[in-house]
């Protein structure tokens, strides 16, 4: 149960950062915190909670591996977009990037 | 004694993760944010190790601390270089975001309350043989899809970052 509280606190802290940070890179770092919280939840619950349908051997590690792969791809693409935006618009503040087109 | 030590290790890892996460979200200094992220990611790797998933912990350190974090540092150096005089990272704190974050914690904890905790971490879940059996057996389509996704991400980053200069 402790691990569920820890993971949801980490997720909530990351969510708060995504909502309140005003810089694109800081928003992305907060998204990484959210993803970390989610994987702590997965790993912690899968290995400690008593359940009738215990996961097959290797499933938890495989799913955790997929979370890490997705997060790495997401971070690479998102930071690439941040670089392109910063070069074109000379800012990474989300308040200055409110236009959808143009 | 071992039980106490286990508890101490868990709480140390949890405290490091939470402090790192708080640093990412609340600090004004961009380098402190990066160091907070590093502490958070290492603590998460430690938690994987704690739950008897050593391979996942190694991958977490390699990919996150060695890859994603370095990517963040490069982005910070390239983007924030021109804005030397700026006061640093800003946040706009408001009550709605606090309510949403606290609400998520309350909802998740209430939803998971009926679950009972097993006292022992199952040691049979560790070992790379079971992971290999799983990845190259029932999860082979997912594994292939992840490879395609990484290739697509690589091409996408090249197009997005290097496309318009030439």
pLDDT tens per residue, range B21-31:
999 999 888 88
Q: Is the torsion defined by CA of B163, B69, A16, B33 positive or negative?
A: negative
Other Cβ atoms closer than 10 A to B153: 20
Classify residue A30: in a domain, yes or no: yes
Classify residue A44: in a domain, yes or no: yes
Say what the ipTM of the complex is. Answer: 0.90
Q: Between the CA atoms of B71, B75, B76 and B82, what dihedral angle is there, to the nearest 10 degrees?
A: 160
pLDDT less than 50: residues of chain B: none
Q: Is pLDDT of A23 > 80?
A: yes
CA-nearest residue to B10 within chain A is: A3
Predicted pLDDT of residue B54: 87
The per-residue DSSP string of chain B comes to: -HHHHHHHHHHHHHHHHHHHHHHHHH-S-HHHHHHHHHHHHHHHHHHHHHTT-HHHHHHHIIIIIIIIHHHHHHHHHHHHTT-TTS----B---HHHHHHHHHHHHHHHHHHTTPPBPSS--GGG--HHHHHHHHTTTTHHHHHHHHHHHHHHHHHHHHHHHTTT-
Classify residue A101: in a domain, yes or no: no
Q: Which residue among A14, A40, A83 sits closest to B79, beta carbon to beta carbon? A: A83
For residue A78, the domain's CATH number is 1.10.287.3510
Classify residue A102: in a domain, yes or no: no
Give the CATH fold of the B3-90 domain.
1.20.120
Cβ-based contacts under 8 A for chains A and B: 242
CB distance from A84 to chain B under 8 Å? yes
Classify residue A43: in a domain, yes or no: yes
Query: Which chain B positions have a beta carbon within 8 Å of A5's beta carbon?
Result: 105, 109
Tokens representing residue B164 in the block: 């318009």
CB distance from B25 to chain A under 8 Å? yes
pTM for this structure? 0.88
Q: Where along chain B do its domains lie?
A: 3-90
Classify residue A67: in a domain, yes or no: yes
CA-nearest residue to B119 within chain A is: A48
Count of structural domains within chain A: 1
CB distance from A21 to chain B under 8 Å? yes
Domain span at A84: 2-96
SS3 A99: coil
pLDDT tens digits, B47-80 = 999 888 888 899 999 999 888 999 889 888 888 7
């Amino acid at each position: 149960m402790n691990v569920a509280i820890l993971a949801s606190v980490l997720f909530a802290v990351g969510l708060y950062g995504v909502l309140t940070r005003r810089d694109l890179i800081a928003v992305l770092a907060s998204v990484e915190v959210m993803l970390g919280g989610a994987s702590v939840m997965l790993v912690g619950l899968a290995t400690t909670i008593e359940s009738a349908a215990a996961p097959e051997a290797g499933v938890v590690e495989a799913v955790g591996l997929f979370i890490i792969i997705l997060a790495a791809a997401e971070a690479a693409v998102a930071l690439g977009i941040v670089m392109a935006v910063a070069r074109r618009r000379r800012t990474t503040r989300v308040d200055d990037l409110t236009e959808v087109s143009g | 004694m071992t039980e106490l030590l286990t508890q101490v290790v868990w709480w140390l890892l949890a405290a490091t993760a939470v402090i790192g996460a708080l640093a990412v979200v609340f600090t004004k200094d961009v380098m402190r944010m990066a160091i907070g992220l590093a502490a958070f990611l290492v603590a998460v790797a430690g938690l994987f190790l704690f739950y008897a998933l050593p391979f996942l912990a190694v991958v977490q350190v390699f990919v996150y601390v060695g890859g994603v974090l370095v990517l963040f540092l490069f982005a910070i150096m390239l983007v924030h270089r021109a804005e030397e005089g700026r006061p640093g990272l800003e946040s706009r704190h408001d009550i709605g975001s606090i309510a949403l974050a606290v609400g998520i914690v309350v909802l998740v904890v209430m939803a998971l309350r009926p679950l009972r905790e097993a006292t022992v971490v199952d040691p049979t879940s560790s070992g790379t043989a079971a992971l290999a059996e799983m990845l190259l057996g029932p999860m082979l389509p997912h594994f292939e899809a992840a490879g395609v996704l990484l290739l697509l991400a690589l091409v996408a980053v090249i197009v997005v970052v290097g496309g318009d200069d030439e």
